[in-house]
Amino acid sequence: MHEFVRHIEIILQTTLKSPISFSGKGLHSGRPVRLKILPAAAECGIWFARTDVMKGDNLIPARWDAVKRSPLCTKIRNAAGVEVSTVEHVMAALAGCGVHNALIEIDGPEVPIVDGSAVPFVRGIMQAGLQVLGVPVRAFKMMHTITVTEGGATATLEPADTMYIDFQIDFDDKAIGSQRKSLRMNNGSFARELSDSRTFCLQADVEAMQANGLALGGSSGENAVVFEGDKVLSPGGLRHSDEPVRHKMLDALGDLALAGAPIMGRYTGTRAGHSLTNTLLRKAFATPGAVRMVVCDAEMTQRLPGYGLVWDEVPQVA
């Protein structure tokens, strides 16, 4: 398998060529769950379908205005109250692979955590391949700078000629400390640099969450990196020396994908989380003139996430 999206095809929307399936357990619920990503028509966008909900509306749009605020993950809900949580990793994989349309069937309320990163989803998408559809790609172009702040956390979207993600974290625990990284999201950088970075937490937080009925599916070394003081408790250690900040960037791409189209702009997060990134999107779309939808020509499309992705660059992890 060679170049994922051929140059002649990059100005058109995409979906998967064939369905792909995943199974596992939810990070917070611990419940077993099966998920299938199916092809969808142009202009559909990304939708989730709760196959275990037999009555009423089981379709949930993967969109910023369907987000129900949650500090630990990204949760979306439809008007009937049907919801799916922890959508950020699969959304990051779809965005990072340049998939614009898909239907995600799931038989429970939480996306399987798999290995705690997005790389299993990325590899599945690339193995299925992309089907090019007959409609041009559209993107949201940032026209003005939008910033939101909450406590000591800040998130900003500002005009740029491509999608950048710039993130900084600061932890007292020496094993994490202060980390910062910035990346352009084209030329396969998401899959190559971020997709295999796992969710992480502190040992004290694990104990507190499990005492409150959360993180029941979490397992150090299997699907999360756990830190305590100056130690990495997870067997095998880190996949990257700065894996925590890389994972925060992965989360940010997944949360920004809920815009409903790629964003041409620079996202800067300082100690930001899922809720603050959603607050940023809400403010951006509520601010007149801050965001403009544009039809992407070939030159613009080369600067979008997913362009230039090559199979050989995707991390291979156990």
The tokens for 170 are: 């600061």
CA torsion 264-268-274-277 (nearest 10°) is -60
CB 40 within 8 A of CB 47: yes
Q: Residue length, the chain?
A: 318
Q: In 10 A of CB 237, how many CB atoms?
A: 11
Contacts of 305 (CB under 8 A, 6+ apart): 95, 96, 97, 98, 163, 185, 186, 190, 253, 262
CA distance 36 to 112: 11
Catalytic annotation, residues: 274
The tokens for 191 are: 């899959």
The SS3 assignment for 146 reads: strand
